[in-house]
Amino acid sequence: MRKKLIIVADDFTGANDTGVQFRKSGFKVNVIINSDRLKEEADDCDVLVIDIESRTDLPQTAYNKCLLLGRQIPELGDVLVYKKLDSTFRGNIGTEFDGLMDGLNISIAFLAPAFPLCGRTTENGNVYVNGVLLNQTEYSDDPRTPVKDSRIAAIIGLQSKRVCNEITTGFFESNIKSANSEIIKRIEEGSEIFIFDSRTESDLAAISSLIEKFTETPFLVSGSAGLASHLHNSTLIRPEPLGFVFSGSVTDISMQQIRHTESEGQCNVFLIDAIDLLDDKLIIDDLTSSVRESISAGIDRFIFCTSRSRKDVENVYRVVQQRSVPRTLAAQKIAGSLGNLAATLIKRFQPSGVLLTGGETAFRTVIALEADGISIDMEILPGIQCGKLRGCDIDSLIATKSGGFGGVDAISKTFEFFKI
């Protein structure tokens, strides 16, 4: 089960340059500047970045901000917390560690601050900028947050009560299992903040792998955008493939495909009342809650349809006839509302793949997503094409199918394709 990632940053640009590392891999990332609506904001994304704007605060102010936030975060459920810090160690590094760890009630932190792609490396516990010790660079004379030491443990030690332990790159010459055991041993000996040397991207990848497999005790992860660029591949937080189907088709074939997929299990089918769509009744919040609960329970396939049996279709026709509404107009209205609903769910959950069944449903969904077309990549099955939308920021694969096309297992096979 993936964890939601919460990133705590001390300035706005740092919040953005860390958040974008996860956006590259398809995560939905939101950056916020206050935590008044923390639960709602977290529910709306995979990665929530919170800028507490504390770099130039007095140490006690920075501590209090982190303490308060740390106490709020457990209410979000099973999350991984990433403390983003400046790769040149400007700011309230130690006090922010203390505040977050006190608030979260955890005693262990893994710190890998290097950003090799930008010339920031860590060797023997010291920070180097383009090969020069940190205290010999311009950052030692920063007008607001000067850094007078190059050794990370010393910088943190000026502000934090926690015990630091330096991990050299040679630590990873052993396998991950023995490295894990060594970490546990050092924890038992009193170490709390583990500072990892990192000279290359490979070093950061090894650290990410260690973090991924460490399950003995809750921990805080900390680093710059450098570690984040590797952590996004971790199974701890990797987006699980989600497949969505939106079907407005009333053909028997489409309904057989829906029932067949449902019978295979691990798929939730939501029957959307077409009359609710006709009447513009708001059902999106209830649907969103149900989908989130299902994802938490391990479900990754979802079908949203207006009918899954001939009886459902006949019930809608009867109501439409009683209202003396022409069927054509009713169908257009229902398709438009279903398209709007589909667009909202796609934006909220960013599924890996979406199948739109029925021409009107597909068209209305594309319109609602404010796309101007689709770039076709391939044919999944005869009659089922897929590609990426043009002119909008949706990364999901979009597949389309005429209601009358495909065998009984067409939806099942499309779901499998979305996991590739």
For 302-345, write each residue's pLDDT tens digit.
Answer: 999 998 888 888 888 888 888 888 888 888 888 899 999 999 99
CB 173 within 8 A of CB 97: no
Q: What is the number of domains present in the chain?
A: 2
Residues 6+ apart with CB under 8 A from 32: 41, 48, 49, 50, 51
Confidence of residue 369 (pLDDT cuts 50, 70, 90): very high
How do 132-133 and 164-167 pair as beta strands? unpaired
Q: Is the pLDDT of residue 1 over 50?
A: no
Q: For residue 237, tell me if it sits in a domain.
A: no
The average pLDDT across 186-203 equals 94
Instruction: State residue 315's pLDDT score.
Output: 86
- pLDDT tens per residue across span 65-93: 999 999 999 998 888 899 999 999 999 99
Same domain? For 288 and 174 the reply is no
Structural tokens at position 396: 């999901």
Residues 6+ apart with CB under 8 A from 181: none
- List the domain range (segments joined by +) for residue 296: 243-418
> At residue 152, what is the residue type?
I
Q: What is the pTM of this model?
A: 0.64
How do 243-247 and 268-271 pair as beta strands? unpaired
How do 384-390 and 373-381 pair as beta strands? antiparallel
Same domain? For 156 and 25 the reply is yes
Same domain? For 277 and 213 the reply is no
Please give the torsion angle defined by the CA atoms of residues 341, 345, 350 and 351, in that order, rounded to the nearest 10 degrees. -90
Nearest Cα to 45, choosing from 35, 56, 59, 30?
30
The widest CA-to-CA distance across the chain, in whole angstroms, is 83
- Sign of the Cα pseudo-torsion (314, 320, 323, 324, in order): negative
Question: Higher model confidence: residue 149 or residue 22?
Answer: 149
- pLDDT tens per residue across span 267-277: 999 999 888 88
**Residue 316 maps to which CATH number?**
3.40.980.20
Mean pLDDT computed over every residue of the chain: 89
Question: Higher model confidence: residue 281 or residue 134?
Answer: 134
The average pLDDT across 402-416 equals 93
CB 40 within 8 A of CB 72: no
| Final residue before a domain boundary, out of 204, 231, 258 | 231
Instruction: State residue 144's pLDDT score.
Output: 85
Helix (H/G/I), strand (E/B), else coil: 338: helix
Same domain? For 28 and 70 the reply is yes
CB 275 within 8 A of CB 319: yes
- pLDDT tens per residue across span 14-66: 999 898 888 876 678 899 998 888 988 988 888 999 999 999 999 999 999 99
